[in-house]
Chains A and B, each alone.
Chain A
Amino acid sequence: MTAVAPGSTIVWLTLAAMGLPFAAFLAIFFVTRPRLLPSLVISLACSAFSLAVAWWLLIHLRGIDAPLMFQALWMHGGQASIGFGFLLDPLSLVMLAIVTSISFLVQVYSLGYMAGDPGMAKYYSFLSLFAWSMIGLVVASNLMQLYIFWELVGLSSYLLIGFWHQKFSASQAGKKAFVMTRLGDLGFFLGIIVLLLNLGDLSILGLNSQAAAKLSPALLTASAVLVFCGVVGKSAQFPLLTWLPDAMEGPTPVSALLHSATMVAAGVYLVSRLYPMYAASADALAIMLAIGTVTMLLASTMAMVARDIKQVWAYSTVSQLGFMLMGLGAGSYFAGVFHLTTHAAFKALLFLCSGVFIHHFGTNDFFDMSRQGARHLRIPMVCITIAGAALAGVFPLAGFFSKEAVMGSLAELDQGIWLWAGLLGALLTAYYTFRLLFVMWRPLQPLQDKQSNPGHDDHQHSGHSSFGYGVMSAALIVLAGFTIALGFLGDKLIAFLHWQRPPQIPHHTWLLVTAILVVLVGIALAWWEFGRRGAAQEGFLRRFPALETLFARRWYLDDLYRRLTDYVVYGVFSRLCTLNDRRVVDGAIDGVCRGTVGAGWLLSFLQSGLLQYNLFAMVLVIALVGIYFLLL
């Protein structure tokens, strides 16, 4: 598909939408940081502008039949020349709209949430930085640009997760997120290099149209898998999934923004972006499917035992990302993207609602919240229920339709096991979501004193203003609207994504019924254990302590990594290298020096003060010279 050069209006508007958040970051960080109000204004204005442009583009270009591409030379060195520009096609337009919307909403919401925090201006500057990198990632016209913004997203996430850096766990979590995604990016980067060296062109359109033809199948699979490594890192897939739950140390809006709707979705977005290339390699798709499935199941089990509300949503995010990848891996481009879209809406909503609770009650434990009377906060309570239901896949909410699309694609596969895994995942999702909802709605015993909250979120809860609450609620309501509405836009989306020529999507009525049944079973189980009057609010897993521990310890993945870093990286490699440096390398040098001085000391005894021994030496040398001349 050949690209079309966009008109100058679109170029300037898009570039402005891309650049303004960065300008906002610079302006706030370096100039207006000490003063809150201008900072907020700048940040929100830029964000709003990007939002407007994104939606205008989406609407304006809704009927395009060829991608619009603009590119300028950013850097060149050797055979690598890297462009900077944008590629507007249905996928990027949709994603742009999602990113700018969520980003804007989170900024609005944060007005309430972060009110009173001393670092609020800095926080907004980081949000702007994040928005910039995410927009750049979404519209990137080539893979290298995408990678660059991908890394910047990682950076902003590092900054935002560790925003309350005086808290050890927060800075630790930020570091962990950065390093683990970096590990994945390693593969991504190598993949890019392989592609660059073999194709000489990294433009996304070029990759999609030529990679399959120009690369040998093995090379194609290799590069696809390498690039997928980046996805594994950023979208927190197995085995690099453990950073995401820890990343909830950041402020809750950040969690909503980064770790549900946008940043982690970038991985899925990348796969969608290069979907034609992936589609050409069956092996790559199979790997994707397998990893997605494993991740989804693992994360679901983890979510079943979590008590921290954000942790639950974090696990569910991981699980849903796995689900999206399953859809993509099963061969359905649309399913993955659709689930990505709906998930963005309801997951953001879930986090933002949770944020209200956390903000209000100063705790992350939803049992605790419930006891403190969470259900009296009506708007968040309703919204969280809607979002939860959407997550669980309750008809007719957004999640239901997108999940259905994924299930449908799974059902098309030869092996049934993927579908069964998907259904199991749906069951578990319904169970843990409603476990949380039932607990929230039905407190076991109300608690009065607030002493028992062991200092989560130790920032000052001074901003219990009605303004803050109002702002937050507004954001929630908008998102709830999306959650309800998006599901019905599936047909529009499929047409748009496929350039108005949607493929025929097979419908399986039995699957529909089964899926609904599965969800109902999950909900019922959750009701039995948590929702019904007099329920002990203890999961059935309590009876299998081994399993419960396994899930709670995240399948010991974290321990594995910690041991790996502690014992292998630090304990063996680093230690050995350090010892080598001190003892062997440096030791050799010092040894040479000491040897030299020692030799000097020894030789100084030649000068014994005894004249005749010196004369010996003289005569001896003369004699030796004589012998040498004699022997010639």
Chain B
Amino acid sequence: MDLKFTPEEEAFRTEIRTFIEENYPERLKNAGGREDLGRDDMLAWHQILGEKGWSVPSWPEEYGGTGWTPTQKYIWNEENARANTVPPLPFGVSMVGPVIYTFGTPEQKERFLPGIVAGTTWWCQGYSEPGAGSDLASLKTRAERITDDDGKEYYIVNGQKTWTTLAQHADWGFFLVRTDPDARKPQEGISFLLIDMKTPGITVRPIITLGGEHEVNEVFLDNVKVPVDQRVGKENEGWTCAKFLLAHERSGIAGVARSKVGIERIKDIASTELDEGKPLIENPFFKRKVAELEVDLTALEFTELRTLAGEAAGKGPGPESSVLKIKGTEIQQRIQELVLEAVGHYGAPYFRGYGEGDNEFSIGPDYAQRAAPTYFNGRKTSIYGGSNEIQRGIIAKMVLGL
């Protein structure tokens, strides 16, 4: 057991750090985590990494992966967090990409993977439906298979998806649809379709969340015609892809490196804010909250490292990743809560943001402006991607066998 980084690993870190310093777009400095970026800004770093060959480190090398060890990937994440870069969107890289290279046909791989690697195709996820939540097996969106006048086979898709993150920018979406309404078990009879978001019959409608953001959407599908060769995996066996993807989605969700940056930010804010005439960080109770966060984050960090080591030793991402999801989101939410506590009165103003050319000054210090919306919006992390209650259920069943 040796938890220090090897000289090779340290050299790798230097390489990464230098690359980021030299190549990360100046205009996006410290933009990681900002919810108000446009499409081009959100893709810029991804595209630079695509050119370098570093956009999909976890993929098999034949599809563009880097072949890095888990420790190297850990260092990669740490350095990106340290520089607060805008991370590649997960929908292609961590979600549909792995499904396509695992279950897709050679044609599908050739057609879809390069766009994900290059950061030119924006993907969104059509899983959740109104009233279904984490219970994917009860989904209602229907896909009927027909042969069209052109002699080709299509699915005609009808239904509604919800909580579709950033669908307003998406080129493509991956959808779970019901192809056999008579299947014996509810999770049977589901298929996994790739759908061009410009196909007629698709309507995207924003859902505004508590922080005032337009981050999620409802997606309506009204007689949407999807060529059969855009189905991944076998018909009625989409559940296999869905389960695989859910396990993949959870890995990396611990967010350790970003939370470290978050804690440093709290310390900065609390060194500026005054409490009884002294920097807030000198308030022993505030300081204790920071200390407790650091302790819990260290515990999470080394738990993640142990999980990564387990993966390197051949265990795939398993139910242990639920621990990372639960503890990771708890810490993120505590950080958001503590920022809001730190900023005091200036957490209350509702900063709607000002357009370019609008030179009205902002209210209170800059760091206070998004404190409340980020806290409110952050409540989603313990709900989405399988709520923390669902995750505990997974651990109870899969790990403890209760």
**Do A and B interact with each other, yes or no?**
no
